[in-house]
């Protein structure tokens, strides 16, 4: 009960503070601060919890130069308002960062954040990733930038309130982005799509065969060890092994959500 009350008070504070503070500097531990627009409580929450929420993600981003040179290509799939893309762009000015975010509120905030930081090396695309290319619908449970409560083609399952809005989107597979849209081959991919990752992986085999792809950080939803091992075996087929697993786990709908770093051997 105490924990719930503290959480409730914290979010009430967020709702109050964003009425007066419309942007926040995220001070970096590595000397690369960047700006985040804070027009909603969800955006403010992402800014203030940046260094605590997913530490393994930041550890990985801090070590990207250990794989190759400075001019790498980074794909951020499920970019939301772009907080990890902004961090990467600020830290590696010679890199090219491609952000994919289909939800309109998040995409607007993403573009605004890129503009606030005057980044010239970040390229946002209002596009969903899946196992095929074509038109679909995005079912949204919270109409606020930074919330991230949406799902392609089906209701968002982490909030009991259900779908409150359906947005038409265009989706593409990884393979089609490379073959038909002539996107540059990514050296690194971050995937955070709240349970839609298996559909994305189904349309990624041709990309994963390319040696230019060196590492993938992905948040996986899995039911049990057999379910997880199927995904690990999928990556092994293309020469990737698990090199890091997040200490945190989130439990929802009889499933586990956890970050996994796959690196090419």
User: How much is the pLDDT for 30?
Assistant: 66
Residue 120 predicted with pLDDT over 80: yes
Residue 180 predicted with pLDDT over 70: yes
Confirm if 33 and 26 have CB atoms less than 8 A apart.
yes
Q: Report how far residue 163's alpha carbon sits from residue 149's, in angstroms, rounded to the nearest whole number.
A: 9
Confirm if 92 and 64 have CB atoms less than 8 A apart.
yes
Convert the chain into a string of H (helix), E (strand) and C (coil).
CHHHHHHHHHHHHHHHHCCCCCEEEECCCCCCCEEEECCCHHHHHHHHCHHHHCHHHHHHHHCHHHCCCCCCEEEEECCCCCHHHHHHHHHCCCCEEEEECCCHHHHHHHHHHHHHCCCCCEEEECCEECCCCEEEEEEECCCCCCCCCEEECCCCCCCCCCCCEEEEEEEECHHHHHHCCCCCCCCEEEECCCCCHHHHHHCCHHHHCCCCCCEEEEEEEECCHHHHHHHHHHHHCCCEEEEEECCCCEEECCEEEEEEEEEEC
Residue 130 predicted with pLDDT over 90: yes
Q: Report how far residue 70's alpha carbon sits from residue 66's, in angstroms, rounded to the nearest whole number.
A: 10
Q: Report how far residue 14's alpha carbon sits from residue 20's, in angstroms, rounded to the nearest whole number.
A: 10
Confirm if 139 and 163 have CB atoms less than 8 A apart.
yes
pTM of the prediction? Answer: 0.95
Which tokens in the block code for residue 153? 């083609």
User: How much is the pLDDT for 254?
Assistant: 87
Q: Which of 83, 71, 73, 89 is nearest to 186 (CA)?
A: 73
Residue 84 predicted with pLDDT over 90: yes
Across the chain, mean pLDDT equals 95
User: How much is the pLDDT for 159?
Assistant: 85
Q: Enumerate domains of the chain plus CATH numbers.
A: 53-264 (3.40.50.150)
Confirm if 35 and 24 have CB atoms less than 8 A apart.
yes
Strand partners of residue 23: 37
∠ CA 109-74-66, nearest 5°, is 130
Q: Which residue has the tokens 């990207």?
A: 64
Q: Which of 78, 55, 53, 74 is nearest to 197 (CA)?
A: 78
User: How much is the pLDDT for 31?
Assistant: 67
Confirm if 181 and 173 have CB atoms less than 8 A apart.
no
Mean pLDDT for the stretch of residues 18-33? 86
Cα four-point dihedral sign 96, 193, 103, 11: negative
Residue 154 predicted with pLDDT over 70: yes
């Amino acid at each position: 009960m105490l924990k719930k009350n503290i959480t409730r008070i914290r979010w009430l504070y967020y709702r109050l503070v964003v009425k007066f503070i419309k942007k926040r500097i995220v001070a970096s531990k590595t000397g690369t601060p960047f700006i985040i627009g804070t027009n909603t409580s969800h955006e403010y929450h992402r800014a203030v919890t940046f260094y605590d929420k997913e530490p393994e993600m930041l550890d990985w981003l801090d070590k990207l130069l250990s794989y190759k040179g400075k001019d790498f290509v980074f794909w951020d799939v499920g970019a939301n308002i772009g907080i990890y893309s902004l961090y990467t762009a600020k830290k590696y000015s010679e890199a090219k960062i491609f952000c994919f975010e289909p939800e309109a509120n998040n995409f607007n905030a993403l573009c605004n954040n890129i503009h606030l930081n005057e980044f010239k090396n970040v390229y946002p695309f209002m596009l969903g990733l899946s196992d095929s290319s074509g038109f679909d619908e995005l079912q949204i449970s919270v109409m606020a930038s930074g919330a991230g409560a949406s799902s392609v083609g089906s209701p968002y399952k982490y909030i009991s309130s259900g779908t409150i809005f359906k947005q038409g989107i265009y989706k593409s597979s990884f393979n089609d982005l490379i073959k038909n849209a002539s996107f540059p081959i990514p050296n690194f991919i971050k995937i955070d799509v709240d349970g839609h990752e298996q559909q994305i992986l189904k349309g990624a085999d041709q990309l994963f065969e390319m040696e230019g792809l060196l590492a993938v950080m992905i948040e996986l939803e899995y039911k049990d060890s057999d379910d997880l091992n199927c995904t690990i075996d999928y990556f092994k087929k293309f020469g990737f092994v698990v090199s890091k697993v997040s200490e945190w786990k989130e439990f929802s709908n009889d499933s586990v959500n956890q970050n996994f770093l796959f690196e090419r051997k």
